[in-house]
Chain A
């Protein structure tokens, strides 16, 4: 069976907020990554699972990508262990300090660099930032349709996707032309890592890891040959810098991030009730007024 569709899944390595071993925040107000073991962002696992189900159903090719420091290759290997076919790591010091705007721009460059695809799947949101913005922003930058809060794909056809999206108290079925982007919620049970795939893909490496593991390379040809050998066995994790994906330096990393953290507070939520706002002009105006009054907006 030939490959029918290409699905890119964007994933993120995040600090495990469930298993905190020390102070979670630094005195400077940033996340203390040393105290938090790095894990696969949970909803990204759901996105990957949905992609792998499309592989099972339609023989789709599943490509997994992430942006992060060199050791974020770990999360890509984890995806390969579960069934992903290919992986790429977007890594460059210039990407560091990115907010959602700069991140989605960088990912859009990577998606364009990858080439043709039918779907991009993202987890709804990451447990470290909880913004749920990167997926939708990425779709905007690629100028493709987006459907968020997906529970399941009903059907994938040439040029069209039909998917089930969660809404309050139920779900709705939506269609979109492809390529399009879906963000996926905690709606499936991610498959475990597979023993045989672990045995094979634990040897998958990025170029940097290859160099690190074989510091004895005397010339570039030798390294290129090793890279080729890994690629032939599907064991090469593509590694792209900002330059590789043709990203505008002004739009990535800290420089490209208008978001500035002003203050971090530990807020203990006390309200137990939810408040329903009428879906009308009047309801929305009163909500906005309320938010302005308590300085959430404005």
Chain B
């Protein structure tokens, strides 16, 4: 029996050591839900036991059922005819399995049929689904849509849609991108107008590259304020599949073949406003996208995990020069780097989900507690976790999706010529990974999202906390290395701040974010080695590999070289 949870030591370690007690306690209303719902946990131990049992079941579905269907899904994909998308029968079976397992509303509140799980646990599931079939994650991972309705919708909207999402009856799509609005969503043009008599909203226009655009329930970003051209003229709408909403075509993509990516035409589609007018992009879509970024980070990590394992297996079986190739230094170096990167990305991802979970519960408290119970401590925590989540989400997405590409790339390399052939999944992983650092915001945009928090030192309290753990021996020596990096990093930030040159700042932002990542992840790896000494080697590997990379970035940041800004045209246009 293949089980993607039970065969993954690092993922089990992650779940067992996830510091979720505070978030779960608040999410479960101090475990008061257990009085109303038989399945709600009575304490944290009970909750964690359920998480473990449930993710084990999902691990089995992924390892046994979904993986075995993934090749055919990749080769055939969905069928499109007469403006109708029909998913591959095996994709439909995958969704049926997950629906029967009752995990289509993992994070939704109990009252709507959800499991009320924190995003950290949902992320473990998305990671495993993606390891089995990355394209299925694009369907399973759309639960953020229901989450967004749960957070911002009216009670009527919640009652109308959430039970359907939780039971798997409804699927969703986030209709954001347009032909001329990709990274720049502020320029969205799809028009929303209100019938002055009835107050009914209607949508008109085009959307492009819409993942699962053939869904039943759409969340649509549209321009509701006539005469505006920026983000503040946009609102969010909910609409249902109907004859006026036409799927014009589906894209022929490089990877994630199992899911349909649609071009949509809105011909006066009736819609409901979700949340307040003008806050569509600034509040709701940003929230939706942040959830989606965590999901894509997990998708990338799942692909990387699969790619590493395949390469590892091949290298231990393939013999050349009378020995298996994993005995050759250039090959085992690649394997060690791949494994270290996967572990690092996982450490940062679940650090990010923890912050997101804590942000969610403290934000909920701030929004719902009566004024006399809303303490300064709660407010401070909300602010702190809000900033930490806002920093860690793009940092994690940038890291996971970039390493997924490098791991999948090296995975092919280890397979040699065989890896270039379609007989192995190595090439599929590389194709599937390639989108992850593009959609839900390119890596370049993740840097833009993260750099503010790096400069403002939003993670400083957390880094101090990790730095003060009781390290000794080798771990202490490694921690000192990280401490030295942090000192230099602060100097580099000061250098950039003092320079006050926006072009230069934009140019070196990536190096700063990368260096922040090296330090943060280095400490997380050391923390984990403290919990389990068999992880010492991997923490050491990470930090020793990070050191020269950090130094390179540091030199680039502090060199003050403006020649690229001055001469890039001469170079590009020669």
B98 nearest in chain A by CB position: A192
Bound Cα distance from A192 to B1, whole angstroms: 14
What chain A residues lie within 8 Å of B50 (beta carbons)? 198-199, 202
B residues in contact with A193, CB < 8 Å: 57, 101
Which of these, A18, A192, A199, A233, contacts B101 with CB under 8 Å? A192
Q: How many residues of B contact A (CB 8 A)?
A: 19
Residues of A within 8 A of B49 (CB): 202
How many residues of A are in contact with the other chain, CB < 8 A?
15
Least CB separation from A52: chain B residue: B100
Asked if A194 is at the interface (CB within 8 A of a chain B CB), the reply is: yes
Residues of B within 8 A of A199 (CB): 39-41, 50, 54, 115
Count CB-based A-B contacts (< 8 Å).
43
Contact assessment for A198 and B38 in the assembled complex, using a CB-CB cutoff below 8 Å? no
Q: Which of A19, A81, A195, A202 has the most CB of B within 10 A?
A: A195
Cα–Cα distance between A293 and B40 once the two chains are bound (Å): 65
A199→B113 CA distance, assembly (Å): 13
Residue of A19, A192, A198 with most partner-chain B CB within 10 A: A192
* Residues in chain A near residue B101, CB distance under 8 A: 192-195
- Contact between A191 and B100, CB atoms less than 8 A apart: yes
User: Whole-angstrom distance from the CB of B418 to the nearest CB of chain A?
Assistant: 29
Contact pattern, B 61-102, Cβ under 8 Å of A = 1, otherwise 0: 100000000000000000000000000000000000100111
On whether the beta carbons of B38 and A233 are closer than 8 Å, the reply is yes
Q: Is the CB of A192 within 8 A of B115?
A: no
> Does A113 have its Cβ within 8 Å of any Cβ on chain B?
no
Instruction: Indicate whether B552 reaches chain A with its CB closer than 8 angstroms.
Output: no
Q: Are A202 and B115 in contact (CB under 8 A)?
A: no
* Given contact pairs A202-B50, A202-B53, A195 touches B103 in the complex (Cβ within 8 A): yes
Contact B53 A196 (CB under 8 A): no
Q: Is the CB of B57 within 8 A of A192?
A: yes
| B60 at interface, CB cutoff 8 A | yes
Residues in chain A near residue B38, CB distance under 8 A:
200, 233
- In the complex, A251 has a CB within 8 A of chain B: no
Q: How far is the CB of B107 from chain A (nearest CB, A)?
A: 12
**Given A19-B1, A197-B102, A199-B39; A192-B61 close (CB under 8 Å):** yes
Q: Are B115 and A196 in contact (CB under 8 A)?
A: yes
| Contact residues in B for A194 (Cβ distance below 8 Å) | 100-102
Can you name 13 A-B pairs with beta carbons within 8 Å? Answer: A19-B1, A192-B97, A192-B100, A192-B101, A193-B57, A195-B102, A196-B102, A197-B39, A197-B102, A198-B50, A198-B54, A199-B54, A233-B38
Chain A residues at the B interface, C-beta cutoff of 8 Å: 18-19, 81, 191-200, 202, 233
Told that A195-B54, A195-B103, A196-B39 touch, could you supply 17 new A-B pairs with CB distance under 8 A? A18-B1, A19-B1, A81-B57, A191-B100, A192-B60, A193-B57, A193-B101, A194-B101, A195-B101, A195-B115, A196-B115, A197-B39, A197-B102, A198-B54, A199-B41, A199-B115, A202-B49
